[in-house]
């Protein structure tokens, strides 16, 4: 049996779909299941059953011999939430508990981290384990992901890793037999209809175009970036879950990995691509970045993807931004379909 936490959410539900396509149907889905708008994401998917996230640890203690692997995708992901206690509970302590259970029961464990851990990018965007403890996230969400990454490294190896001939290795420690953390960069794609303000800019662009005929992007508040040239590493969710499936089946070396495309693109590129996918000429204007996120707004992210390619051996190409937008808009957003 494969477990997916956060299974009614965006990435989790796409992972369940991809597992089904690969022939996996013995899947237990874990979430809080309290929102009808998220329940739609599980429609048509083949699963064994559901367990509420609050009951999952107890369920795992009783049924661990049936479990082949856990994908821990569930988390509180609101970057505007400032209550650290919420993140300490749902993102940090909950993840620690699952890690320790998987360590004790020897269950493979794959978990979602975030590029929000990189903050303003003062230390670059390398997933080298020696750099991770020094990262400085900009908000409580990013800090919760950072705290768990650091705890993992301290647990398995005292926070140390070594590089030998361009290959990263991690030694020993209290850990699941197989594990990996993934620093998701800016993921977009189907099944994010419930995310509201936290949905991708592609989603909001398509909605604004339908409603008004145009798109408003955030104005730059830094002199070194022109309006619309703020840049992120945008990755299509289908690429993300293909990597997760690869780790399930191929079991690359245990480590924390970046998961982006390795190429930053501007928000102007993204908005223009969305207009093109909708067969419209771009009509883009700019508004001030909201005050509540202005001081913690990332102007640039770009994943260093050498570890995934060189250590894990993942060779498949990723969608280019325009190709990913075209697939998302035409196959899903146009009729607001789920995947």
Query: Do the domain assignments include residue 38?
Result: yes
Q: What is the pLDDT of residue 297?
A: 85
Query: Do the domain assignments include residue 329?
Result: no
Average pLDDT, integer, range 91-112: 95
Evaluate if residue 239 carries a pLDDT over 70.
yes
CATH number of 153's domain: 3.40.50.720
Is 125 annotated as catalytic?
A: no
- Residue 233 DSSP label: -
Active-site option among 136, 195, 216, 263: 195
Max Cα distance, the chain (Å): 57
Total domains, the chain: 1
Q: Are strands 69-72 and 167-169 parallel, antiparallel or unpaired?
A: unpaired
Tens of pLDDT, residue by residue over 172-198, are: 468 999 999 999 999 999 999 999 888
Tens of pLDDT, residue by residue over 306-334, are: 999 999 999 999 999 999 999 999 999 99
Domain interval for residue 178: 2-191+235-263+303-320
- Number of Cβ within 10 Å of residue 74's Cβ equals 27
Q: What is the pLDDT of residue 83?
A: 72
* Cα separations in angstroms, 12 against 7, 33, 212, 315: 4, 13, 31, 23
Average pLDDT, integer, range 19-26: 98
Query: Do the domain assignments include residue 273?
Result: no
Q: What is the pLDDT of residue 80?
A: 62
- Number of Cβ within 10 Å of residue 218's Cβ equals 18
Would you say 185 and 258 are in contact if contact means Cβ atoms under 8 Å apart? yes
Query: Do the domain assignments include residue 121?
Result: yes
Of the chain, the percentage scoring pLDDT greater than 90 comes to: 83
Is 195 annotated as catalytic?
A: yes
> What is the C-alpha radius of gyration for the chain, rounded to an integer number of angstroms?
19
Query: Do the domain assignments include residue 297?
Result: no
Active-site option among 141, 193, 314, 319: 141
Query: Do the domain assignments include residue 197?
Result: no
């Amino acid at each position: 049996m494969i477990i997916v936490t956060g299974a009614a959410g965006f990435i989790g539900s796409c992972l369940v779909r991809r597992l089904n396509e690969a022939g996996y149907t013995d899947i237990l889905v874990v979430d809080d299941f309290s929102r009808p708008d998220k329940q739609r994401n599980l429609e048509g998917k083949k699963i064994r059953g559901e367990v509420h996230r609050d009951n999952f640890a107890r369920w795992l203690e009783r049924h661990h011999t049936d479990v082949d692997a856990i994908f821990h995708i569930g988390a509180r992901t609101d970057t505007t939430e400032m209550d650290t206690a919420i993140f300490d509970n749902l993102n940090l302590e909950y993840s620690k508990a699952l890690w320790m259970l998987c360590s004790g029961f020897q269950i493979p464990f794959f978990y979602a981290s975030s590029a929000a851990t990189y903050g303003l990018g003062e230390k670059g965007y390398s997933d080298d384990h020696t750099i991770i403890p020094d990262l400085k996230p900009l908000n409580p969400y990013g800090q919760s992901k950072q705290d768990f990454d650091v705890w993992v490294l301290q647990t398995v190896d005292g926070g140390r890793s070594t590089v030998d001939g361009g290959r990263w290795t991690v030694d020993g420690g209290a850990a699941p037999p197989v594990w990996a953390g993934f620093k998701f960069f800016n993921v977009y794609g189907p099944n994010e209809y419930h995310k509201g303000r936290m949905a991708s800019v592609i989603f909001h662009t398509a909605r604004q175009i339908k409603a008004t005929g145009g798109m408003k992007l955030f104005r730059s508040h830094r002199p070194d970036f022109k309006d619309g040239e703020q840049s992120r590493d945008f990755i299509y969710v289908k690429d993300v879950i293909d990597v997760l499936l690869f780790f399930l089946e191929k079991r690359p070396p245990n480590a924390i990995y970046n998961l982006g495309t390795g190429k930053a693109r501007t928000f102007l590129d993204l908005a223009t691509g969305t207009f093109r996918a909708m067969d419209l000429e771009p009509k883009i204007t700019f508004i001030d970045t909201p005050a509540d996120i202005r001081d913690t707004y990332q102007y640039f992210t770009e994943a260093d993807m050498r570890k995934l390619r060189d250590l894990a051996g993942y060779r498949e190409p990723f969608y280019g931004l325009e190709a990913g937008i075209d697939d998302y808009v035409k196959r899903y957003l146009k009729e607001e379909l789920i995947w």
